Amino acid sequence: MQKGAARQAQATDPRGRKLQVGLVVAHLLVACTVTQAKGGVVGAGGASVSQADLTARATVASAGSANTTLSPLSSRKPPNAASEMRSGLAGETPKMAGAGAALNQAGFVGAAQQRPPAEATSAETTNAGTMMNRIEFSKPSDSDILQRLSPLEYEVTQHGATEPPFRNRYWDNHEAGIYVDVVTGEPLFSSKDKFESGTGWPSFAAPIEPNRVIEKPDRSLGMVRTEVRSAVGGSHLGHVFDDGPQPTGLRYCINSASLRFVPRSKLIAEGYGLYEGRFSVVGTPDMAPSTTNSCAVEQGKSGGCAATLDEAYLSGGCFWGMQDLLRKIPGVVETQVGYLGGAMAHPTYEDVKTGSTGHAETVRILFEPKRLSFSELLEKWFFRMHDPTTPNRQGNDRGSQYRSVIFYTSDAQRDTATQVIERVNQSGKWKAPIVTEVIAAKAFTPAEEYHQDYLVKHPGGYTCHYLRD
């Protein structure tokens, strides 16, 4: 019996409609203002912080009109490490305490106090006549953050993880708009200050306004770098380096998972109308590429800056059963099912199930290499949960969409996959030769929502996967 028939028998209702299930990132409008007073800054808890200190630490921003001239502050240097930061990696950071503690250490006492959510105030008009909505922000509770963020977003913002380069949502985004904290919604960066850095992560020359981000010494990896966090939510964003383009000379290397993008067309509707005017000034070009930095690397090649998370794309038959086993492996952070390997852009299940598109049902695995190496993922798990000796078939499921494939994202993954296949062949665990393909990963299309975590939603549903001894 083929899987298509089995699915129809056991999932008639899910196939007829898309289930709107999953984590939804909510961006609360909350109350926490920071105002200037007598040369200082007062946090929501009433603690005063030196204006000079904040100016030196927060540095340049593109506040005001779109043609505001940016200039670097000579006082902005990483703590005792200007030269070390140039050679440092934008890599992992140690797991850190709660954002409130981080803010207290940075001098922002009370800035992340939890307050009841507040709606945006009524619209106001600036002197220039631009419509503006003033929103106030605060950090949600830990339980709310855990519920609303994806596993990747949670690991990055709350535990200081670094997502993989080039395979994240905003590294190549060129649309006009602003980037806000995925946790609190506070505005952080503008597309006007975004530039192509060659690193595979979103890179900015400055925050959207002074004091929107705070800095913290990071002494991991045997060097001193400067970590950047959101001022209100204390979310880990990434690191700032002094090898960026002029006029600031800075490169804010930021995780896409820390951000939510608000396009220009939605700024007023979402309460960020204050920033819409920045994009209406004629003759203000976007920033030119600047790839002469310590992290720039050709996509898919070794080198560049280290990430604490990596991605794998594995195909071995029905992605329902594959995902159900893969998500339980220690060191796996997140899984997602989808389609990979074909020529059609944005295929659907109805397209792929015909077997004519060239796509394979695939599971995207986000994992921690320090806990689970790519080699272990393949040898100890992938080659035990499916039969890699049957071309275009897995159990009762037949067709090229059910073939065994390792889609590699780097030269290192390709080499590892080849070595593991050779070892498995020589082990004698399989009586027939391994037919698993090793192919470069290209565009991955997530499957429809009703396919995601299918066996979690429907325990006892169809699967032909199990772990062999």
The answer to whether residue 464 is catalytic is: no
For the chain, the straight-line distance linking the first and the last C-alpha, in angstroms and rounded, comes to 26
DSSP line for 117-129: B-PPPPPEE-TT-
Q: Which residues make beta-bridge pairs with 437? A: 405
311 Cβ contact list (under 8 Å, min separation 6) = 164, 167, 364, 365, 366, 367, 409
Helix, strand and coil content of the chain, in percent to the nearest 5, comes to 25, 20, 55
CA distances (Å), origin 268, targets 120, 126, 280: 11, 14, 13
Three-state DSSP class for residue 96: coil
Catalytically annotated residue among 32, 295, 318, 464: 318
Name the strand (E) or helix (H) holding 446. strand 445-446
> How is residue 292 written in tokens?
């002469």
* CA 139 – CA 149 distance, rounded (Å): 13
Neighbours of 311 (CB within 10 A): 25
* CA 220 – CA 287 distance, rounded (Å): 31
* CA 132 – CA 274 distance, rounded (Å): 4
The answer to whether residue 318 is catalytic is: yes
* CA 281 – CA 87 distance, rounded (Å): 37
Catalytically annotated residue among 32, 253, 295, 464: 253
Residues known to be catalytic: 253, 318
